[in-house]
Amino acid sequence: MIDLARYSAFARYIGYRALASVPTILGLVVLTFVISHMIPGNPALTVIGPERNPQELQILEQEMGLNKPLYIQFYNYLAGLVHGNLGYSFIQQQSVSSLVASRFPASLELAIASVLIGIPVALFLGLWTALRVNRPEDHAVRVFSLLGISMPVFWVGTELILVFYSFFHLLPASGQLDPALSPPTTITGMYILDSAFTGNFPDLVSSLSHIVLPALALSIFTIAFLSRIVRSGMLDVLGTDYIRTSAAIGLPRNVIVNKYALRNALLPAITVGALTVAGLIAGVVLTETVFGWIGLGYLAFQSIEGPDYPSLIAVVLISGFLFVIANFIADILYAVVDPRVRL
C-alpha cells in the first residue's frame, strides 16, 4: 500500500519551498536591474561609441527604451527575461542568451567533474578522521583542510600548472581540447560526454586529460570544507545515546557506523551543500580564468575587461539563480533524509 498521506505531505513541503524561492528570484532580478542602471553615463553612448551623431543617439535611446519611465523599463527587462532574452553583447557581437547557451555546458562539465572528485574524497576523509579522532592522520587532514579553505583557488590552479605542466609535462595547462583536434559532434555540448557518445577516442582522451587539473583545483575547496562538516557531524552522532546503546547490546561496529550513524551524520553536510555550491560557482569563475576553460566563468572574466555589461549581468543573474536552485534542492534532500522536517 502506498502511504498517500505521507506523499502528499512531502509534495506540499516541496511546493511550499518552491514558492518561498519566488520572492528571492524576483529580488535577484530587481537587484541586477538596479546594478545595471548604476552604469555611469548613458548606456546608449557606450553602445554607439564616442563618435556619435545626436540624432542616431536619440533613435538608439528610443530603441533601447531608455526614454521610457523606469517601471516600464523594468517591465520590459522582466518580460525579456521570461522569454529568455538576456540582451545583446556588442563586444561579443551576439545575443547574450546564445552566448550563455554555448558556454554553459563547459562550466557544467567542469563543475560535475570537480564534484565527482570532491564529494567522495570529502566523505571519505570526514568519516575516516571521525573514527580516528586526535590521531596523527586526523591532525594531518585538519591542517590540509585549513590550507584548503585558505588558499586562493586561482593560486592553486597556477601551482598545479607549474607542477604538472611545466615540471613534469604530464598534463596540458589550458583549454578543453588539443588544438590539433576538432571538437566532437555536439550532443550535450560537454566534450567528454559527446566524444564518448560518438566514439571519438582521440577527443575523449584529450578532453579527459584537459579536465584533470581544473577539476582538481576546483575540488580542493569542496574537499577541505565538506570533510570538516562530515567529521563533526559524525562525531556528534557517535556521541549520542542510541549509538552507545547499540554498541552496548553488541552490534558490530560496521553496522553501527554504516546503518545507524551515517545517515544522521550526513545531515549537516546537506545543509551546507548549498554553501558549497556557492563556493563552487565563485571557484568556477576563477578556475576557468586560470585554465582558459571557455565556460560561463570565463565569460564573466572576459566581460570585466570590456566592460561587457549585458554579459556580466547575465552571468551574475544566472549564478544567483543557480544558487537559489541549489538551496531549494538542499531543502528537499534534507527532507528526504530527515522526515521530521516535512511536518
Partner 1 sequence: MFNTVSRQVSKFESGLELLRQLVRNRTGLIGLIIIAFYVFLAIAGPALAPYPPNYIPSAETVVGPSPAHLFGTDLYGRDILSRVLYAARLDMLLSLIGVTIGFAIGEVIGLVAGYYGKKTDQALMRGMDILLAFPGLLLAIAIAVFLGQGFFSIVIAVAVVGIPGFARITRSVVLSTKQELFVTGAVSIGASRFKILKDHIFPNTLSPSLVLYSISLGTAMLVAAGLSFLGAGIPPPTAEWGAMITLGLQAYNDWWMAVFPGLAITGAVMGFNMLGEGLREAMDVTLRR
Positions that interact with partner 1 (CB under 8 A): 23-25, 27-28, 30-32, 35-36, 38-40, 146-147, 149-152, 154-155, 158-159, 161-162, 165-166, 173, 278-279, 281-282, 285-286, 289-290, 300-301, 303-305, 307, 309, 312-313, 315-316, 319-320, 323-324, 327
Toward partner 1, which CB reaches closer, 106 or 161?
161
> Are the C-beta atoms of residues 322 and 281 closer than 8 Å to each other?
yes
342 and 16 Cβ atoms separated by less than 8 Å: no
The residue behind cell 566523505 is 123
Provide, rounded to whole angstroms, the least separation between the CB of residue 48 and partner 1. Answer: 20
Q: How far is the CB of 114 from partner 1 (least distance, A)?
A: 15
* Nearer residue to partner 1 within complex by CB, 24 or 58: 24
The minimum distance between CB 308 and partner 1, in angstroms, equals 10
For the beta carbon of residue 328, count every other beta carbon within 10 angstroms. 17
Min. distance of Cβ 183 from partner 1 in angstroms?
Answer: 25
Task: Kindly tell me which of 160 and 257 has the beta carbon lying closer to partner 1.
Answer: 160
CB of 286 to partner 1, least distance (A): 6
To partner 1, the closest distance from the beta carbon of 312 in angstroms equals 6
140 or 147, CB closer to partner 1?
147
CA distances from 57 to 74, 95, 103 (A): 21, 21, 32
Helical spans, DSSP H, in the chain: 4-36, 43-48, 54-63, 70-82, 96-130, 136-150, 153-161, 191-197, 201-238, 241-248, 253-255, 262-265, 267-271, 273-291, 296-305, 309-337
Which has the closest alpha carbon to 156: 206, 205, 224, 109? 224
Coil, helix or strand for 64? Answer: coil
Of 64 and 151, CB closest to partner 1:
151
What is the length of the chain?
A: 343
In this structure, what C-alpha cell is assigned to residue 9? 505531505
- 152 or 199, CB closer to partner 1? 152
**Cross-strand partners of 94:** 89
CB 106 within 8 A of CB 293: yes
Nearer to partner 1, 183 or 306 (CB): 306
Which amino acid is it at 99? Answer: L
Residue 314: CB minimum distance to partner 1, A: 11
**Residue 135 grid coordinates:** 590521531
| Rg of the chain on CA atoms, in Å | 24
CA-closest candidate to residue 104, choices 328, 308, 300, 286:
300
* CB closer to partner 1, 261 vs 285: 285
Q: Which amino acid is at 72?
A: I
Residue type, 261: A
Q: Residue 262, CB half-sphere, CA atoms under 13 Å: how many? A: 11
CB of 146 to partner 1, least distance (A): 6
Shortest Å, Cβ 28 to partner 1? 6
Q: Which residue, 144 or 197, has its beta carbon nearer to partner 1?
A: 144
